[in-house]
Each structure stands twice: as structure tokens, then as C-alpha cells.
């Protein structure tokens, strides 16, 4: 007998509590930040250079050269827009160094080709003071220019929570789950602020979901194919100062590190009444099962394990049971679980209320293997799966998933961080379903 377990809203609460603690920890002091080690050396070398007023008074030519260097936000700005970052430019010279001093998070940036301009990498922090000192060579003159300013204090802010816990292990299908407490209308701006670092090279993409039922807006990072086992993943959301909606800014930097565990993949067929369990790509178990009876069919789709309990109280028409060794994979109450009462039907007919019924011994083995994010694919059911009934990111093909990115870009991640790339520039995908990726059209009726 399968059925409808209670919805565990505590998942969101746990994620929220963990993420709020992370948000507080992620906002760290920075001190002086430089554009690059070379820029640091150059900046230190010019530490005793003339101030802007000195440069301007030394000669008309030097004064003109100083005017060629611009810093945005300008000196004295009291409510600069943090989402625009810092821009330094010279129209007739070359930038030698850019130094940013702040008591908030470090500010890094990049020079344009030819070093005629420099822009900060991420948004600036809200309610924060900055001093930018620029040294440039213009028309044979070395000039130094400074801008000191303060960023605005927003009247409205958004917060972001991450589901993953610090140092926890997740299955090879696990997406990075972000929950926003405010509707994000400039999803492209927020997506640009999201960085993923991985111990092994990974290709993935972000997907925006406004109907996720867990928050006002959700965003998910999913690899193109299942994560390599043993990968360490670090997420950084450089969200402080990002304008996610008109007048609504992020006010925190969110970070988290977790790891990908052993590959544990389940494939079940209501037609054959069997489930295969693959460990690290090898078939380890081939168990008899009973799935949903007609009218209560277990839906097709590639799901992920969400949580597990031993036992779970399941309540439905005609039953109220404590069910041992239960691993959930849909919000509506579908589990892999011990069904000691249907052992005689397992392998022959479907009698459950939607769950995958296993013998006591088999369900205990699977329970002890399962962690959140392990793939479960149901195939051959007369019932189609439903988007967002569980973690259903693997319902979508890679091309479908890319359409959920606000930037229309893929992400290449590695030990040094991540970059957005044109999907057409990616190497061809050679992963094979169901062990390396999800089957095509896997949520459709067979």
C-alpha cells in the first residue's frame, strides 16, 4: 500500500534557517582590494603620488591629463547605485592601477583590452563607503585620481536561501536550490551574480521557476548530466547590491559548500514489476516491486529522493499506517518503502496507492543507501509526471532546461569558478541514460 504522506514543510524551514545563518556569515570585511597583483604593486609604488589637487596644480598639461580619467560613481556621491558597480576609464591614456578601499567585502575587477577602462566584477554592497584610487599614464603624465562615495540604503531588499547544508552529501542528480522571498523580475541580473566552483569540471545551467511552491521565486542549477561522484561544490551568490526588481536590492553574499556522494540510481517499471538499483554505474540489485494500481498509477518521470524517515505515517482511503524504511520522491506522497503486506503481489501486479512497494529486506537496503538527490526514474506508467511534484528538474532535456536560463547561457564550472558560455560552443554530450543522465521525454506517458 503506498500513499499520501504529509507534506514536510519543515524542509523549507530547515533550508531557511541554514541559509539565514549563511547569509550572516557570508558578509565579511574586506579592507583594501586591488584589480590584480600587478595593479597592487603599481598602486603601492604610486602610494606617494600627487593627489588630484596636486596633479591639477602642477601644470596645465597635468591638469588636462587628470581630467581625462573618470571614476564612476563620482567623488562625493551619497547614494550611488550599487548594482552598477565601479567603472574607471581614460580616453587618451592607459590605466596603471586601480585600488578600492572599503570596510566591506573585497572589490575585484578587470581591465578592458588596452587597459583603457576597468570595471568591478560584482555589484557593490548596499549602505557602504568606498574610496577608489586610480593611477594612469596620460599624454606623458602620471596622474592619480580619487573618488570617495557611499552607496544607497535600499527601502526594500530581497533575501536568498539555499537548501544545501554545509558539508552535507547529496546524490548525483541534486540541483543547487535557491529560494527568493521576493519576486525576481530582473532574473538576468541575479543570474550573473551566481557563481559555482567545482572540484571537477562540470557543465550546467540555471533555471528560473516562479511556480515552485517553496518560495516566491526559485532558481535551480542543474548539471547537463549527473554530477561526477565525489565532486565538491561551492556556491557563491554575489547578491549584495544586485537589483532583483525595481528598487529591490540584495543585501547579503550567500555561500555554501557541499559534496556529491556515491552514485545511487533507481529505475522502476510498473510493467515489469521490477526496480533496478545501480551503484557507481553497476547493477547491484534487481528487486520485485508493486507500483500504483489502476487509477492510482505511479507517475512516469525522473525524480530525485527528497527525504527519508523510518517510519512514516501514511494516511489515505481505508488506511492509517506507520510505514518502515520510507524514501520520498514526490511532494504528493510517493515513496520507495517497505510494504510487508504486499510481498505476495510484488513482481506480479500493481496494488499500491502510488508508491513503489518493496519487501522489508529490500526497502531497508535502499533506505540505508539513499541520500537527497539520488535519481529515481519511473518508466512505462500510463500516467505522466507533473512538473514541480518533487524535484523534477530532470524531467527536462538539456535543450529544454537551457530555455529556463534568463541569460540563455550555459555554465562551465571548475576549481577556479564558473563562466557563462554560449551553449553552441560546448563539446557534444556523450552521456548515456539512465546511469549518466536522465532518459529523454521521461515524464511523458509511455
C-alpha–C-alpha distance, residues 240 and 122, integer Å? 9
Q: Which of 8-22, 98-112, 209-223 has the lowest mean pLDDT?
A: 8-22
Q: Mean per-residue pLDDT for 385-410? A: 97
Residue range(s) defining the domain that contains residue 83: 35-150
Q: Are residues 209 and 281 in the same domain?
A: no
C-alpha–C-alpha distance, residues 417 and 411, integer Å? 10
Name the pairing type of β-strands 335-338 and 356-358. parallel
380: left (phi over 0), alpha (psi -120 to 50) or beta: left
pLDDT tens across 131-174, in order? Answer: 999 999 998 889 999 999 999 999 999 999 999 999 999 999 99
Q: Are residues 295 and 379 in the same domain?
A: yes
Cis peptide before 342 (omega within 30 of 0): no
User: Taking 80 as the threshold, does the pLDDT of residue 28 lie above it?
Assistant: no
Q: In what helix (H) or strand (E) does residue 164 lie, and over which residues does it extend?
A: none
Q: Are residues 288 and 388 in the same domain?
A: yes
Domain boundary among the residues 115, 150, 185 is at 150
For the chain, how many structural domains are there in total?
3
Give the CATH number of the domain where residue 331 resides: 2.40.440.10
pLDDT tens across 282-307, in order? Answer: 999 999 999 999 999 999 999 999 99
Domain boundary among the residues 116, 150, 184 is at 150
Degrees, nearest 5: CA angle 315-319-321: 65
On whether residue 381 sits in a domain, the answer given is yes
On whether residue 4 sits in a domain, the answer given is no
Q: Mean per-residue pLDDT for 16-37? A: 32
Mean residue pLDDT across the chain: 88
User: Taking 80 as the threshold, does the pLDDT of residue 118 lie above it?
Assistant: yes
C-alpha to C-alpha distances, 352 to 54, 152, 199, 298, 309, nearest whole angstrom: 84, 58, 42, 9, 19
Give the CATH number of the domain where residue 176 resides: 2.60.40.3710
The three cell numbers of residue 247 are 528598487
Q: Mean per-residue pLDDT for 96-103? A: 97
**The dihedral formed by the CA atoms of 273, 392, 194 and 253, expressed in degrees to the nearest 10:** -100
Q: What is the largest CA-CA distance in the chain?
A: 98
Q: Which of 17-21, 102-106, 186-190, 403-407 has the lowest mean pLDDT?
A: 17-21
Domain boundary among the residues 150, 170, 195 is at 150
| Residue tagged 548596499 (cell numbers) | 126
On whether residue 5 sits in a domain, the answer given is no
Q: Are residues 269 and 354 in the same domain?
A: yes
349 in helix, strand or coil?
A: coil
Contact 412, 217 (CB under 8 A): no
Q: Are residues 163 and 16 in the same domain?
A: yes
On whether residue 371 sits in a domain, the answer given is yes
Q: Are residues 84 and 198 in the same domain?
A: no
* Predicted pLDDT at 213: 83
On whether residue 432 sits in a domain, the answer given is no
What is the DSSP code string of 379-392?
-S-SS---TTSSS-
Q: Are residues 177 and 210 in the same domain?
A: yes
C-alpha–C-alpha distance, residues 204 and 375, integer Å? 17
* Predicted pLDDT at 177: 98
User: Taking 60 as the threshold, does the pLDDT of residue 13 lie above it?
Assistant: no
C-alpha–C-alpha distance, residues 21 and 318, integer Å? 43
Q: Are residues 287 and 366 in the same domain?
A: yes
Residue 140 makes CB contacts below 8 A (sequence gap 6+) with none
Q: Are residues 246 and 310 in the same domain?
A: no
Q: Are residues 249 and 275 in the same domain?
A: no
* Predicted pLDDT at 324: 98
User: Taking 90 as the threshold, does the pLDDT of residue 15 lie above it?
Assistant: no
The three cell numbers of residue 354 are 502510488
Q: Are residues 242 and 271 in the same domain?
A: no
pLDDT tens across 58-80, in order? Answer: 566 666 777 899 999 999 999 99
**Total residue count of the chain as it appears in this document:** 446
Looking at per-residue pLDDT, the higher value among 141 and 33 belongs to: 141
Give the CATH number of the domain where residue 78 resides: 2.60.40.3780
Smallest CA-to-CA distance from 107 within 44, 43, 32, 42 is with 32
* Phi/psi at 352 (5° precision): -85, 175
* Predicted pLDDT at 66: 75
On whether residue 6 sits in a domain, the answer given is no
Q: Are residues 380 and 271 in the same domain?
A: yes
176 in helix, strand or coil?
A: strand
On whether residue 235 sits in a domain, the answer given is yes
On whether residue 19 sits in a domain, the answer given is yes
Amino acid at each position: 500500500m503506498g500513499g499520501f504522506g504529509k507534506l514536510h514543510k519543515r524542509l523549507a524551514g530547515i533550508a531557511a534557517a541554514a541559509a539565514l545563518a549563511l547569509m550572516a556569515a557570508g558578509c565579511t570585511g574586506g579592507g583594501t582590494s586591488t584589480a590584480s597583483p600587478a595593479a597592487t604593486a603599481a598602486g603601492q609604488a604610486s602610494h606617494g603620488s600627487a593627489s588630484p589637487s596636486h596633479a591639477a596644480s602642477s601644470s596645465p598639461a597635468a591638469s588636462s591629463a587628470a581630467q581625462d580619467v573618470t571614476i564612476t560613481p563620482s567623488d562625493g556621491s551619497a547614494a550611488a547605485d550599487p548594482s552598477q558597480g565601479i567603472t574607471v576609464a581614460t580616453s587618451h591614456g592607459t590605466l596603471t592601477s586601480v585600488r578600492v578601499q572599503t570596510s566591506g567585502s573585497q572589490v575585484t575587477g578587470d581591465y578592458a583590452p588596452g587597459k583603457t577602462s576597468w570595471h568591478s566584477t560584482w555589484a557593490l554592497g548596499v549602505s557602504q563607503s568606498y574610496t577608489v584610487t586610480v593611477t594612469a599614464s596620460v599624454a606623458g603624465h602620471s596622474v592619480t585620481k580619487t573618488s570617495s562615495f557611499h552607496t544607497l540604503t535600499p527601502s526594500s531588499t530581497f533575501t536568498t536561501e539555499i537548501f544545501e547544508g554545509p558539508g552535507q552529501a547529496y546524490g548525483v542528480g541534486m540541483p543547487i536550490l535557491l529560494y527568493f522571498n521576493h519576486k525576481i523580475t530582473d532574473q538576468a541580473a541575479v543570474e550573473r551574480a551566481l557563481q559555482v566552483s567545482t572540484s571537477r569540471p562540470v557543465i550546467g545551467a540555471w533555471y528560473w521557476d516562479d511556480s515552485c511552491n517553496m518560495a516566491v521565486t526559485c532558481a535551480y542549477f542543474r548539471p547537463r548530466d549527473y554530477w561526477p561522484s565525489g565532486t565538491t561544490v561551492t556556491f557563491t551568490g554575489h547578491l549584495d547590491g544586485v537589483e532583483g526588481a525595481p528598487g529591490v536590492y540584495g543585501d547579503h553574499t550567500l555561500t555554501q559548500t557541499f559534496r556529491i556522494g556515491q552514485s545511487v540510481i533507481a529505475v522502476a517499471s510498473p510493467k515489469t514489476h521490477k526496480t533496478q538499483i545501480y551503484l557507481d554505474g553497476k547493477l547491484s540489485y534487481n528487486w520485485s516491486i508493486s507500483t500504483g494500481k489502476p487509477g492510482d498509477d505511479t507517475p512516469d518521470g525522473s525524480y530525485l529522493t527528497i527525504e527519508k524517515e523510518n517510519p512514516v505515517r501514511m494516511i489515505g482511503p481505508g488506511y492509517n499506517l506507520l510505514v518502515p524504511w520510507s524514501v520520498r520522491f514526490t511532494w504528493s506522497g510517493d515513496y520507495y518503502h517497505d510494504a510487508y503486506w504486499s510481498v505476495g503481489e510484488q513482481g506480479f501486479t500493481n496494488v499500491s496507492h502510488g508508491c513503489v512497494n518493496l519487501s522489508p529486506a529490500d526497502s531497508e537496503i535502499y533506505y540505508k543507501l539513499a541520500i537527497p538527490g539520488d535519481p529515481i526514474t519511473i518508466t512505462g506508467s500510463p500516467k505522466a509526471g507533473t512538473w514541480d511534484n518533487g524535484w523534477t528538474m530532470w524531467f527536462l532535456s538539456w535543450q529544454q532546461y537551457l530555455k529556463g536560463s534568463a541569460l540563455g547561457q550555459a555554465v562551465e564550472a571548475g576549481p577556479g569558478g564558473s563562466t557563462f558560455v554560449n551553449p553552441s560552443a560546448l563539446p557534444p554530450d556523450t552521456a548515456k541514460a539512465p546511469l549518466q543522465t536522465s532518459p529523454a521525454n521521461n515524464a511523458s506517458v509511455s
